[in-house]
Structure 1
Amino acid sequence: MITILIPSYNHAKYVIGCIEAAAAVAFAGRRILIIDDGSTDESVQIIKKYLSDLNDSSIELVLKPNGGLVSSLNIGLTMADTEFFYLVASDDIPEAAGITSCVKVLLENPGVKFVIGGGYAFYEHQPEKRLGIYGEAQERFFNSTSAARARDMFLNYPSPLLLQSTVFRSKALRDIGGWDPALVLDDYPTFVKLLSRFSIRNVDFMYLPSNCVVGYRQHDSNSYKNICRQYLMVKALMDALAPTDIKLKAISRALASYIISAIKVRNPKAILSMLKASELKHILWALPEMLGMVGRKALRKMS
C-alpha cells in the first residue's frame, strides 16, 4: 500500500521517535525503509537495537556510505514496491492520521498524483508550541492559475513547501525521474518538476493543508555557511530549471531574499560570500528587488 522512507543522518536523539510515529500508519502492506547515510553518531546502533527488540519485518534498515540526502531518496524510491510513497526526515514527526487521510484521498481520486497536506513547526525547547507551516503565501500560490504558478515557482515560490507534508503515488515521482543528483536541494526541485508536469489543482494534485501530515522540527542554526549554502543551492536550481526569459530575475530575486535574511541575523560574512559567488548583473538586479521586498512587507504591516 505505502512505503514510508526515513532518510537518516546523525539524528540518534530523534530517529526512534520518527520510526515509532511512522509505524502508527496502519495500512495493510505498509513498509518502512530507514536509509542511513553513513551516520557518524550512534544512530545505526540505536536503530539496530530498536528493530531487534521490535522484531517487525515491515521495517528495514539500509546502510550506505555518506552520499547525501538525494542519493538516499533515490535509493528509497528504487526500493519502493508500493503504490504510494511518503518520506520524512529522521528528526521530524510523521502524523499517522494525516498520512492516512491523504492516502484515502488518493484512493478515491485515481487521477490525482500527489496530495500536499499540512503540518506544524515546533522547537525542541517548546514542543507544546506548534505553528502551522502553511499560510497566505501557499494559499495564493495554489489558488493561482497553472500558467501563473509556472512563473511563481521561480519568482514567488512560497517557502516552505515540504515533501514531508506530501503523500505521492510512487509512479509520479518516477515519472519526473526522481531526484536530480546534480541538485542538492530535495524539496524545491521536486515540486518544480511535479507542478510543471502535473499542474492542475484538484485534477493532477490536491492541496489540503487541514490534513496534518508532519511535525517539522526547527533547529537553531542561522550560521554563515547555512545562509550562503542555501543561496548557492537555489541559484543552481534556477540555473538548471528556470525558463530563460525569467532566469535573471529569478536568480536576482533569490539573491535579494537571502541578503535580507543575512541582514536580519546580522551576518555580513554571508552577504560578502554571496556577492562574491554572484555575477554583477545579478547583484545589480538584486538591489531594486530588495527595495521592493522591504516595501511590500511594510505595506502588509500597515494594512
Structure 2
Amino acid sequence: MLDESVDGLGVSILSRDLKSMENRIDFTFGIITYNHSDYILEHLESIKYQILNYGKGAGVKLVVSDDGSSDNTLEIIKKWISYNADLFMECIILGDGVNRGVGHSFTNIWKHIGDEAFKVLAGDDVYSYENIFLEANLLEKYDFVSGLPLLLIDGKILYKKNLMFHLYATQHIYKNKTLLSKIKNISVINTPSLLYRNKFIKDKSVFDFIRQFRVTEDFPMMASLSSIYPKLKFFTSDRVYIYYRRTKGSIYIVDSERYNKDKEDVFKYLINVDKSYIGRFLTRNRLFCYKAGGRIGKVLNIGYYIYLLRLLMALPKITSSMRGLRIDEEKHRTHYKKIVERARRARWELKI
C-alpha cells in the first residue's frame, strides 16, 4: 500500500513505508499531463508493461506533473495508482489546478528526480514493448539517446517512410558535427523518445530557460544544453520505444500562435549564442522564413538548400540505412492492441 500526504502546494506524495526495504530508486517515469483523460490509461498501462516485463527487482518512482487539467485526468491517475501501488516505491502527483505551461510542468518533474535514470513523456503517448530500462543504459556512453519513430494517429500505429528517411539523413549529415549544429540547421530528431543524462537536469540555467516557454520544452532544452555543452554525444537507437500520438488537440495545432512564438524565441536565443557571423546569418534567415511561412518561407530559406546538398552527398549512406531498417510493425501494432485492451479493462475495474 502507498500512504498519501498532501502539502500546501498541491503536491500529493504517495510512498511506501521504506523502513522495511532498501530505500533505492533505480528509475523514474515522469508524466506530463493536460486533459489526457481519453489516453492516460493507455500510457499508464504501457508503464505497467515495462515494469512487469523488464523492471522486476528495480526501485521505480512515478512523478506526474499536471498542468491544470479541467477534465478528470488526475482522478483517473490516482485511482489507477491505488490499484497498482505495488509497482512503485514512490508516486508524486504535482499540480494545483493552475495552467502555467509545459515548460513549468516539465521542469517541475526534474525537482523530484534524484541520481537515477529517468524518462519524461506526455500522458497521451505510449511506451512500446522495447525495454526502456535497457535503452537507458546507453547513457553510460552517450549524452542523448533517441529511438526510431512510429506515430499513433486515430488509434493506429503508423510508419512514415518520409519521416524515417529524414531522420537517417540527419543522422548521417551531422554525424561528425556538434549537436548545436544539428539544432541550428534543418534536421529531424525524434524528440518524444529522448533520454538524456541525469546531470543536465541539475543545471539551473537550463531549468530557468525552459520555464520561459509555454507550449514546447524539448526544442528549448536541446538548444540550451547544446550551447552550454558543445561536445554532447547524440545516439539514435534502431529501436522504437515510444508511440508518439498526434491528435486534433495536439498543442501545436490548438495553440499554434504560442507554439510559433516559442519556436521564434528559441531561434533568437540561437542567434545570440552563435559566435559565427555565417551561423548567425543563417539562423536569422531561418527565423525570417519561419515567420513568413508558406511557400515564400520555404523558397527563401537558405537552410533548405544547404540541407538538400548535404542530403544528396550522404544519399548512398541514407539509402543503405533505409534498406537495413528492421521495424516489426505488426509486432508493435499487436503490442498496442494489448495496451488498449488493458486500458479498457482498467477503466472497467476502476469504474471510470
TM-score tier, shorter chain, comes to 0.7 to 0.9
**Match status 1:7 vs 2:32:** yes
Tell me what 1:192 maps to: 223
Per the TM alignment, residue 23 of structure 1 is displaced from its structure 2 partner at its CA by 2.7
- Which structure has the highest strand share of the two? 1
Residues 138-217 of structure 1: pairs in structure 2 closer than 5 A: 138-143=167-172, 144=174, 147=177, 150-158=180-188, 161-162=190-191, 164-175=192-203, 177-178=206-207, 180-184=210-214, 185-198=216-229, 204-208=233-237, 210-217=238-245
2:287 alignment partner AA:
I
Residues 50-65 of structure 1: pairs in structure 2 closer than 5 A: 50-56=80-86, 57-58=88-89, 59-64=91-96, 65=98
Per the TM alignment, residue 205 of structure 1 is displaced from its structure 2 partner at its CA by 3.0
Per the TM alignment, residue 293 of structure 1 is displaced from its structure 2 partner at its CA by 5.8
2:43 alignment partner AA:
C
Gaps of 5+ in 1: 261-282
Q: Is the 8 A contact 1:95 1:212 kept in 2?
A: yes
Percent identity between the aligned chains?
A: 19
Q: Considering only aligned residues, what root-mean-square deviation do their CA atoms show, in Å? A: 3.2
TM-score (norm. length: structure 2): 0.65
Tell me what 2:294 maps to: 259
1:97 partner SS: coil
Per the TM alignment, residue 146 of structure 1 is displaced from its structure 2 partner at its CA by 5.2
**Match status 1:89 vs 2:125:** no
Cα deviations across residues 192-237 of structure 1 (Å, max 9, x unaligned)? 2333445557xx23221x2212000111359976444332221111
2:31 partner SS: strand
Aligned equivalents of 1:43 and 1:148: distance in 2?
40
Per the TM alignment, residue 145 of structure 1 is displaced from its structure 2 partner at its CA by 5.1
Q: Is the 8 A contact 1:98 1:211 kept in 2?
A: no
Corresponding residue pairs, total: 264
Aligned equivalents of 1:166 and 1:292: distance in 2?
24
Tell me what 1:231 maps to: 260
Per the TM alignment, residue 135 of structure 1 is displaced from its structure 2 partner at its CA by 2.1
* Closer/same/farther in 2, CA of residues 186 and 84 from structure 1, 3 Å limit: same
* Closer/same/farther in 2, CA of residues 211 and 200 from structure 1, 3 Å limit: farther
Q: Is the 8 A contact 1:199 1:205 kept in 2?
A: no
* Closer/same/farther in 2, CA of residues 167 and 63 from structure 1, 3 Å limit: same
2:79 partner SS: helix
* Closer/same/farther in 2, CA of residues 46 and 75 from structure 1, 3 Å limit: same
Q: Is the 8 A contact 1:117 1:166 kept in 2?
A: yes
Aligned equivalents of 1:165 and 1:133: distance in 2?
18
Per the TM alignment, residue 151 of structure 1 is displaced from its structure 2 partner at its CA by 3.8
Gaps of 5+ in 2: 1-25, 275-279, 316-352
* Closer/same/farther in 2, CA of residues 82 and 22 from structure 1, 3 Å limit: farther
Aligned equivalents of 1:96 and 1:13: distance in 2?
21
Aligned equivalents of 2:178 and 2:82: distance in 1?
51
TM-score (norm. length: structure 1): 0.74
Aligned equivalents of 1:119 and 1:216: distance in 2?
7
